[in-house]
Amino acid sequence: MANTRSKPGARQVPSQELERLRAELAESEETLRAIRSGEVDALVVSTAQGEQVYTLKGADEAYRILLEELTEGALTISADGIILYANTSFANFTRTPLEKIIGSRFEDLVQAADRDSYFSLLSHGRSARARGMIRLSAGDGSTVPALLSVSALPAESASTWCIVATDMTDQIKSQEALQKANEELELKVRQRTENLAKANEELARSNSELQSFAYVASHDLREPLRTISGFLELLQMDYGDKLDQKSKDYISRAVNASTRLHEMIDDLLSYSRLETRKRVFTRVDLNGVCQAALNDLNRAIEENGAKIEVKTLPTVMADELQIPIVFRNLIDNAIKFHDKTVPEIVISATRDESEWLISVKDNGIGIDPVNQRKIFEMFKRLHSRDEYPGSGIGLAMCKKIVERHGGRIWVKSSIGNGSIFFFTLPSNLA
């Protein structure tokens, strides 16, 4: 009794019983060791029907060692469902000691709700390998999701099934985490799409409001302006000789300002018409468009002695009434914005994946990079009308038209080094 200590409250075990329990434990440990190392070929299991002997055929040590090394659970099961062999991995992931597993029924480890699936796996496993997910009850009361792969062993084998069980806890956790992340992502995308759709709606609404405002304003402004110009003309005609020089000068300035206002209203009207026009795209040969623009600008070309080289241009899907405005404005500017040098202009096109890149290059005065975005805004000019005539609407019109065609427009330039205006147009002709 020297090595038997009793704790307060602990059950006092008679020494003979303790000895018997120790011997039984030593015996079962030895049996387990012998089964796992392949030293025994048979196992006697006490059941309600009495003791049953299970022979362990194929108890080959090499295979047993291999099975012990597996990270998956490996088991052999008798025809009546008794676990004859289980490896340490299975004991580890079911958190149940091996001595409790071996000799027990596998179905007792399977959670009640999954038992039918387990039996169906066994019956399918008779003819071919059967796989399925089963929830096992672990020794600590937790649930272990396991993928079972069930195969039948040869008919004469005492162990009828071989089961490989994979612990799916981590995979399921990461699957769940992935699914959650996916759901969160989907939710975010949905929210963003909704926001974007709302913002688009808002933009479309305010755009159309702006369009109709510009149209109505420019249309309705013309009438009173015409009246002002008319009375100014009458004043000049009827009282011209009675007025002094100062008054004449005032009237002349008022006439100029009203003419200018008239032009601006016309420009504004043309600009707002670009958007209100229905999108009708047809095949348009840009060689013809460019030639027509050059014909229109013939006087300016001759006056400035401009040399213009036109390379081969493509046929594109475009609005045949709007695309000529782009060519006319860009060529007009290329002729206009030069100092003493004779204008030399090259118009060309290159294909770049899904679009055409069209360029109008000149050797004129150039544009400071800080102003290169500004010039595409309405009525933005970098020079006085005395230096270079114009209204400042041309490039804004070009931008609107190119964008309506799904393209972009920009300029590459620096002061004194000429400019190249680029714009893109989709190259598909469908």
Closer residue to ligand ADP, CB minimum distance, 251 or 300 = 300
The Cα angle at residue 14 between residues 11 and 16, in degrees rounded to 5: 145
Q: Rounded to whole angstroms, how far apart are CA atoms 366 and 35?
A: 93
Nearer to ligand ADP, 125 or 343 (CB): 343
Angle of helix 15-37 relative to helix 61-69, nearest 10 degrees, comes to 100
362 three-class SS: strand
Q: What size, in residues, is the chain?
A: 430
Q: At its nearest, how many Å lie between ligand ADP and the CB of residue 417?
A: 10
Shortest distance, CB of residue 224 to ligand ADP, whole angstroms?
25
Name the nearest CA neighbour of 163 among 52, 74, 263. Answer: 74
The stretch near ligand ADP (CB under 6 A) out of 16-24, 189-197, 209-217, 385-393 is 385-393
Q: Which of the stretches 42-50, 205-213, 320-328, 388-396 binds ligand ADP when contact is defined by CB under 6 A?
A: 388-396
Window 94 to 133, contacts with ligand ADP (CB under 6 A): none
Using CB under 6 A as the binding rule, whether residue 392 contacts ligand ADP is answered as yes
Q: How far is CA 249 from CA 228, 257, 387, in A?
A: 17, 12, 22
Among 391, 410, 412, 426, binds ligand ADP (CB under 6 A): 391
* Nearer of residues 174 and 341 to ligand ADP, judged by Cβ: 341
* Distance between CA atoms of residues 249 and 370, nearest Å: 38
Residues 324-383 that bind ligand ADP (CB under 6 A): 329, 333-334, 337, 362, 364-365, 367, 375, 381-383
Instruction: Count CB-CB contacts under 10 A for residue 41.
Output: 14
C-alpha to C-alpha distance for 281 and 319, rounded to whole angstroms = 5
Instruction: Determine the Cα–Cα distance for residues 117 and 111; give it in Å rounded to an integer.
Output: 10
- Strand, helix or coil at 38? coil
Binding mask 289-328 for ligand ADP (x = CB under 6 A): ----------------------------------------
Identity of the residue, 99 or 266, whose beta carbon is nearer to ligand ADP in the bound complex: 266
Task: Specify the residue for token string 């302006």.
Answer: 225
Near ligand ADP by CB under 6 A: residue from 361, 394, 402, 425: 394
Please, what is the minimum distance in Å from the beta carbon of residue 262 to ligand ADP? 15
Query: Closest approach of Cβ 373 to ligand ADP, in Å?
Result: 11
CA distance linking residue 210 with residue 354, whole number of Å = 32
Nearer to ligand ADP, 323 or 367 (CB): 367
Contacts of 304 by beta carbon, 8 Å cutoff, 6+ apart? 335, 338, 342, 343
Residues that bind ligand ADP (CB under 6 A): 329, 333-334, 337, 362, 364-365, 367, 375, 381-383, 390-396, 419
